[in-house]
Amino acid sequence: MKQTRILLIEDEEGSREALLALLKGSGFSIKGCGSGEEALKCLKEERFDIVISDLFLPDKSGLEILTTVKADSPATEVILITGHASAETAVKAMKEGAFDYITKPLNIDELRIIIDKAVEKNVMFLENVYLKEQLRERYEFDNIIGHSQPMQQLFSRMKKIIKTDSTVLILGESGTGKELVAKAIHFNGPRKDRPFIAVNCSAIPENLLESELFGHTKGSFTGAIREKVGKFEAANQGTIFLDEIGTLPMHLQTKLLRVLQEQEVERVGSNRQIKLDVRVVSATNVNLEDEVKRGNFREDLFYRLNVIPLLIPPLRERTEDILPLTRHFLQKNCQSMQRPLMHLEKEALEALEFYPWYGNVRELENIVERIVALTEGDVITLKDLPSNIVKIYTERDASPTSVTPSGIDMVKTINDIERKMIAEALQLAHGVKARAAAMLNLNRTTLVEKMRRLGMPL
């Protein structure tokens, strides 16, 4: 662990030398200065973790030192030394960024405790900066895999909107990477150093969702034993990502509309309006225009959310991205499982490219992880793929649709094909008709009518 570096600024030579000796004895790397000008010169030449300065110096004030330090090195913590009479001034300095203050005569044990706390805050600040840098690198556009033309068009549009505060609605099937796109918009924009708060509206029980989004006051309902800050407040000056926005109950749609219009939030059980500065990015895998027509979604809220729509194409419509995505997931999983990098045989790659990927990129990622875990050797063959992928690939030319000299029962053949496709879609959708209908590019009512006509169980 690196030694904490401290700059001590004290014009009284005796006090300065005594403090230097005591703090060096405590294991700190410390340097002393007798004036503000000398301290500013040191600060230009070297970096310090902590600055301890007398509030009143002959040539400079501690406030000037504080302002300079915070402007040049926000991670550096400033501790002020003050007389009893100037404690009020010291408190004012803390509001301007000082970490703490200590009054004369100095208590060295108290000073050590303050320094230790300042060191802890400094470490946390630097760790936070490092993590944010890692996030920025992870969500740079170049790190989102998409070589196909539809994805390049998406990236081009994203780059145009990152500098704005416009509300964004991300459209796409489940598993296409909507949250990844939302994070890329945030971490490449001017709010990148502020919070990114993600909320899955479908994953939170309806009776808790209002409190989760907007917060509540103590005693506002049974179980509200303490005050709670909502997700919108937590995202202040940053971005809130509302996933599965189409599932939001109607009464909360009304409240969300007000938040968007007024840029203020009201906690459950409170009449106080809290002003906000939040960018809203939402996402859905359902057609909100259809939901508006059915009366399930407010039209005015839809227009508020749909200022800039971004459509993420499904994986089956950008098959040229399957190979680079697969290679990326292979590298990631081989590394985490400490295996040599695996490679795909040509036939295995063809099978992956032929598969319709109704679960999109998430399904591909999960399948690659399973293959890496279960496959022996470094080469992935057709037999190493899941049976449903192999079946669709091997039966790709087996559909009896060719007309022979003896003729063909066209109605029966078409019905058989429809029955097979509907059954496969329902299996992939785990029986959810709305999702199966979306996979087949049908309305749910049309799917039900077809199933009834074909004699399929409803």
Residues 331 and 341: beta-carbon distance below 8 Å: yes
Whether residue 404 is contained in a domain is answered as: no
User: Which spans in 73-197 are helix H?
Assistant: 87-95, 108-138, 149-161, 178-187
Question: Cβ contacts of residue 399 below 8 Å, gap of 6+?
Answer: 417
Q: Are residues 433 and 417 in the same domain?
A: yes
Q: Are residues 148 and 262 in the same domain?
A: yes
Please write the tens of the pLDDT for every residue from 247-290: 999 999 999 999 999 999 999 999 889 999 999 999 999 999 99
Q: Are residues 99 and 244 in the same domain?
A: no
pLDDT value at residue 301 = 97
Residues 187 and 239: beta-carbon distance below 8 Å: no
pLDDT value at residue 332 = 92
Whether residue 439 is contained in a domain is answered as: yes
Q: Are residues 163 and 274 in the same domain?
A: yes
Q: Is the dihedral of CA 240, 241, 245, 248 positive or negative?
A: negative
CA distance 338 to 315: 28
Give the pLDDT band of residue 141 (cuts 50, 70, 90).
Answer: low
CATH of the domain at 422: 1.10.10
Domain boundary residue among 114, 134, 154?
Answer: 134
pLDDT value at residue 404 = 60
Q: Which pair of structure tokens corresponds to residue 151?
A: 């994805």
Q: Are residues 162 and 272 in the same domain?
A: yes
CA trace torsion 312, 348, 334, 386 (10° rounding): 80
Please write the tens of the pLDDT for every residue from 76-132: 889 888 876 566 676 677 777 888 888 888 888 888 888 888 888 877 776 665 565
pLDDT for 385 beyond 70 = yes
Please write the tens of the pLDDT for every residue from 38-89: 998 998 888 888 999 988 888 888 888 888 888 888 888 898 888 765 666 7
pLDDT for 1 beyond 90 = no
Mean pLDDT value across residues 293-310: 96
Q: Are residues 128 and 148 in the same domain?
A: no
Q: Are residues 240 and 345 in the same domain?
A: no
Whether residue 158 is contained in a domain is answered as: yes
Max CA pair span of the chain: 113
Whether residue 401 is contained in a domain is answered as: no
CA distance 409 to 18: 103
Q: Are residues 48 and 37 in the same domain?
A: yes
Q: Are residues 272 and 249 in the same domain?
A: yes
pLDDT value at residue 330 = 96
The better pLDDT of the pair 416, 243 is held by 243
Give the pLDDT band of residue 386 (cuts 50, 70, 90).
Answer: very high
Please write the tens of the pLDDT for every residue from 163-199: 899 999 999 999 999 999 999 999 889 998 889 999 9
pLDDT value at residue 97 = 83
With vertex at residue 259, the alpha carbon angle to CA 206 and CA 309, rounded to the nearest 5 degrees, is 85
Q: How many residues does the chain have?
A: 458
Q: Could you list the residue range(s) of the whole structural domain that residue 202 is in?
A: 143-313
- The model's pTM is 0.64
How many domains does the chain fold into? 4
Whether residue 399 is contained in a domain is answered as: no
Q: Are residues 130 and 180 in the same domain?
A: no
Q: Are residues 271 and 341 in the same domain?
A: no
Mean pLDDT value across residues 429-444: 87
**Measuring CA to CA, which residue among 442, 151, 451, 158 is closest to residue 312?**
151
Domain boundary residue among 134, 152, 173?
Answer: 134
pLDDT value at residue 447 = 92
Q: Are residues 425 and 353 in the same domain?
A: no
